[in-house]
């Protein structure tokens, strides 16, 4: 018998073949763990294999599946009140304690668990989507603004550069103030913050929080709107919660830079893109797509590249359904409404052309942004590309490479990545579900291909030493298709597995996912839970005051006015505060031999160097976490020219000259 397409070979369903193929791939990748200690190489094959096994089991248990246990109505009615009481506690704790402490993160984990528990275990009669969305949005607001409220100055490193750019625009009342900066070609974020400062008549910090800061928690509703185009309300709400609790999503809600605004526009564009694939769209819908794509291009370069990856995925999904190489054009109308694939050629060509045009005119490192990026990429391929060349994966990994890691050093990477891995497992299950020929359509294939391509940039290329695309910036964007596909995957398992196995799977997600995301490093960068393993990317009032005072003391000399022997040395990340604010532009990370003393002439010591995780470098340039004593950086033979009890600046002593 001759088969014209794979879909006509009934015993070989695409989802079954994909599940078996995924299991074989997981087994093939498993031995790589013996060649390297990279966290994703150790964990992703296990997650992939588990998801494939659960999906295969669900295929054989589907006919025997019974109703999943649900919460009693009295419990479902009481939980929202308990959640709001918990949210009130999340407001009070930072105000009383002055920062987000371990008790704050513990309570946040419990609140997140109660929210997701309502979504997956409430009966259809007791499910109230509007009330659940209110809980999710309130959690997002409280979790982020608690950090912003209790932190003097800003959170993060890059934000200080963007603050200076906004200040320059306000000072000169013109965009030409940043004409020599790469953000001159993508200025929407800086113009928005500057306009907000003028409109509200508030400082830049308040203007930032009242503009982009307010939009970030609300943007999670775009995930709900997108998912609701594909599945029922319960699972759309679940996708919203999975996304809102994501560690990298929280990160860009407290470290508010152009990436944050680019993420908002990306979510809006994802919604608009899926919408035109699911409805009888009009020219207005396509105009919205064009407007949002232009907004991304004028906001952030990395966000633009990720958007192009999404559009490429949508275009390839179109080709799959137009050409139909696997017979996927045969849709079952009981699953998805039959609809002709949307032609996206014009949209892809327009965005690619506009991106090349804008990047060609954007200044960057004495060249155009496009030319510089291509040069960096070519240099990376030439100098450092190679299989399992994961050097530079993280500073923490480098710091612990020379000594045997302690138990906490081994555990922390798994805690930081546990939430992502759980979401990845649910995503794999969702991908297997949508490749079934009866369920396949352009919208879900766009999500599948977009997630796959992003995972290549995040996990694949770094395995070969290629990190030019800044993979850490991609996670929050990846979480959107992952949350949608993950919700679809959990819906599939809930409806197909036996109740006992369903309860186990859902309880793991309910009990572990919120807490793991809350405890992950990206969610608490201003006050790390594991403060001996992760640097604190925020500063107290005395540290900020010291930077301002040192700037006044030295006159904030320009870089070319500083001799090489006058370069200032301190820890990372504190050195970035001096260089990015212009307080002392020629500032870099101190070099301190292990157990030895730095020999720098000009140095700054702060008490956090003796208590928290701060970075210095070895004599070979390798970064490491080190607890320094004051005399290791400010030697007794140096003169103290400034101190406020917490921060000390040392210079050569006149007596030594």
* pLDDT value of position 7: 42
Across the strands, what pairs with 400? none
Q: Is it the case that residue 11 has pLDDT exceeding 70?
A: no
Can you tell me the mean pLDDT for 134-149? 97
Sign of CA dihedral 557, 560, 561, 565: positive
pLDDT digit string, tens, across residues 296-309:
999 999 999 999 99
Q: CA-to-CA distance for 575 and 565, rounded, in angstroms?
A: 17
How far lies 395's CA from each of 200, 398, 532, 617, 652, in Å?
40, 5, 13, 11, 31
Q: Is it the case that residue 574 has pLDDT exceeding 50?
A: yes
- Asked whether the whole model's pTM tops 0.85, one would answer yes
Task: Tell which residue, 26, 53, 15, has the closest CA to residue 505.
Answer: 53
3-class secondary-structure state, position 285: helix
Q: Is it the case that residue 8 has pLDDT exceeding 60?
A: no
Residues 6+ positions from 12 with CB-CB distance below 8 Å: 6
3-class secondary-structure state, position 520: coil
How would DSSP label each residue in 224-268? HHHHTTTS-HHHHHHHHHHHHT-HHHHHHHHS-SHHHHHHHHHHH
Burial of 597 (0-12, 13-18, 19+ CB in 10 A): middle
Q: Is it the case that residue 67 has pLDDT exceeding 70?
A: yes
Structure-model confidence comparison of residues 402 and 32, the more confident one: 32
Task: Tell which residue, 62, 40, 56, 57, has the closest CA to residue 424.
Answer: 40
* pLDDT value of position 386: 62
Q: Is it the case that residue 68 has pLDDT exceeding 90?
A: no
Across the strands, what pairs with 588? 569
Range ranked top by mean pLDDT from 47-51, 379-383, 559-563: 47-51
* pLDDT value of position 643: 94
How many CA atoms are closer than 13 Å to the CA of 532, on its beta-carbon side?
11
Q: Is it the case that residue 491 has pLDDT exceeding 80?
A: yes
Two tokens, residue 132:
């659940």
Quick one: pLDDT band at residue 195, thresholds 50, 70, 90? very high
* pLDDT value of position 69: 87
Place of tokens 């995301």: 517
* pLDDT value of position 325: 54
Q: What is the 3-state secondary structure (H, E, C) of 610-635?
A: HHCCCEEECCCCCEEECCCCHHHHCC
Preceding omega of 573 cis (within 30 degrees of 0): yes
Quick one: pLDDT band at residue 467, thresholds 50, 70, 90? confident
- The CA-CA-CA angle for residues 498, 122, 250, to 5°, reads 100
Tell me how many helices (H) and strands (E) the chain has: 27, 9
* pLDDT value of position 4: 39
pLDDT digit string, tens, across residues 73-110:
999 999 999 999 999 999 999 999 999 999 999 999 99
Sign of CA dihedral 179, 180, 185, 189: negative
* pLDDT value of position 403: 57
Can you tell me the mean pLDDT for 416-439? 92
CA dihedral 362, 364, 369, 372 (to 10 degrees): 160
Residues 6+ positions from 476 with CB-CB distance below 8 Å: 246, 248, 249, 251, 252, 259, 263
Burial code (b: 16+ CB inside 10 Å, e: under 16) for 350-375 equals: ebeebbeebbeebbbeeebbbebbee
Task: Tell which residue, 577, 590, 588, has the closest CA to residue 633.
Answer: 590
Quick one: pLDDT band at residue 657, thresholds 50, 70, 90? low
Can you tell me the mean pLDDT for 372-386? 78
Across the strands, what pairs with 53? none
Length in residues, the chain:
657
Instruction: Give the gyration radius of the chain's Cα atoms.
Output: 26
Task: Tell which residue, 593, 633, 591, has the closest CA to residue 616.
Answer: 591
Q: CA-to-CA distance for 436 and 292, rounded, in angstroms?
A: 32
- What percent of the chain has a predicted confidence (pLDDT) above 70? 90
Q: CA-to-CA distance for 44 and 459, rounded, in angstroms?
A: 10
Q: Return mean pLDDT, the chain.
A: 89
**Paired sense of beta strands 568-570 and 587-589, if any:** parallel
pLDDT digit string, tens, across residues 509-520:
999 999 999 999
* pLDDT value of position 64: 52
Kind and range of the H or E run holding 606: strand 602-606
| 300 contacts 259 by C-beta, under 8 angstroms | yes
Place of tokens 């890059």: 158
């Amino acid at each position: 018998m001759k088969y014209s397409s794979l879909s006509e070979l009934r015993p070989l369903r695409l989802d079954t073949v994909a599940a078996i193929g995924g299991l074989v791939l997981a087994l093939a990748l498993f031995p790589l763990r013996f060649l390297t200690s990279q966290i994703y190489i150790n964990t992703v094959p296990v997650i992939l294999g588990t998801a494939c096994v659960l999906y295969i089991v669900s295929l054989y248990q589907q006919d025997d599946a019974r109703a999943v246990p649900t919460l009693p109505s009295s419990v479902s009615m009481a939980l929202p009140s308990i959640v709001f009481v918990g949210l009130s506690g999340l407001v009070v704790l930072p105000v009383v304690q002055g920062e987000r402490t371990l008790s704050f993160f513990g309570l946040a984990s419990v609140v997140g668990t109660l929210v997701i528990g309502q979504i997956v275990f409430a009966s259809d009669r007791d499910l109230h989507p509007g009330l659940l969305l209110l809980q999710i949005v309130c959690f997002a607001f409280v979790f982020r603004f608690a950090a912003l409220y209790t932190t003097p100055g800003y959170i993060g490193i890059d934000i200080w550069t963007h603050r200076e750019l906004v200040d320059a625009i306000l000072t000169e009342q013109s965009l030409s103030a940043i004409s020599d900066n790469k953000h001159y070609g993508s200025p929407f974020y800086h113009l928005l913050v500057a306009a907000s400062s003028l409109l509200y008549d508030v400082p830049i910090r308040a203007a930032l929080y009242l503009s982009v800061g307010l939009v970030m928690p609300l943007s999670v509703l775009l995930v709900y709107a997108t998912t609701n185009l594909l599945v029922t309300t319960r699972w759309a709400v679940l996708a919203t919660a999975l996304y809102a609790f994501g560690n990298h999503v929280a990160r860009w809600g407290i470290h508010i830079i152009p990436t944050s605004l680019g993420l908002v526009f990306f979510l809006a564009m994802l919604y608009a893109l899926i919408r035109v694939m699911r409805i009888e769209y009009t020219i207005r819908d396509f105009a919205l797509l064009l407007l949002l794509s232009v907004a991304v291009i004028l906001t952030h370069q990395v966000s633009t590249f990720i958007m192009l990856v999404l559009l490429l995925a949508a275009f390839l999904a179109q080709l799959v359904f137009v050409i139909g190489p696997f017979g996927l054009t045969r849709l079952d109308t009981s699953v998805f409404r039959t609809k002709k694939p949307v032609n996206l050629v014009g949209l892809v060509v327009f965005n690619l052309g506009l991106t090349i045009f804008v990047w060609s005119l954007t200044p960057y490192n004495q060249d155009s942004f496009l030319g510089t990026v291509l040069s960096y990429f070519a240099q990376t391929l030439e100098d450092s590309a190679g299989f399992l060349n994961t050097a530079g994966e993280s500073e923490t990994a480098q710091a612990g490479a020379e000594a045997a890691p302690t138990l906490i050093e081994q555990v922390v990477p798994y805690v930081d990545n546990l939430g992502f891995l759980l979401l990845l497992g649910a995503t794999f299950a969702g991908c297997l579900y949508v490749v079934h020929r009866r369920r396949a359509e352009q919208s879900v294939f766009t999500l599948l291909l977009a997630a796959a391509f992003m995972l290549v940039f995040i996990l694949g290329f770094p395995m070969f030493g290629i990190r030019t695309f800044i993979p850490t910036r991609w996670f929050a964007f990846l979480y959107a298709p992952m949350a949608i596909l993950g919700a679809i995957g959990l819906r599939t398992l809930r409806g197909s597995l036996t109740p006992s196995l369903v309860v186990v799977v859902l309880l793991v997600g309910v009990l572990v996912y919120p807490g793991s995301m809350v405890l992950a490093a990206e969610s608490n960068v201003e006050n790390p839970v594991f403060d001996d393993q992760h640097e604190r990317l925020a500063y107290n009032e005395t540290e900020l005051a010291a930077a301002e005072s040192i700037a006044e003391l030295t006159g904030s000399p320009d870089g070319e006015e500083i001799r090489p022997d006058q370069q200032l040395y301190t820890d990372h990340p504190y050195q970035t505060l001096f260089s990015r604010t212009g307080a002392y532009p020629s500032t870099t990370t101190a070099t301190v031999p292990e157990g030895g003393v730095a020999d720098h002439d000009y140095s700054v010591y702060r008490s956090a160097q003796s208590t928290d995780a701060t970075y210095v470098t070895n004599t070979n340039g390798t970064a490491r976490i080190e607890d320094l004593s004051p005399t290791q950086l400010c030697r007794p033979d140096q003169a103290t020219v400034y101190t406020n009890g917490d921060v000390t600046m040392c210079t050569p002593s006149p007596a030594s000259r």
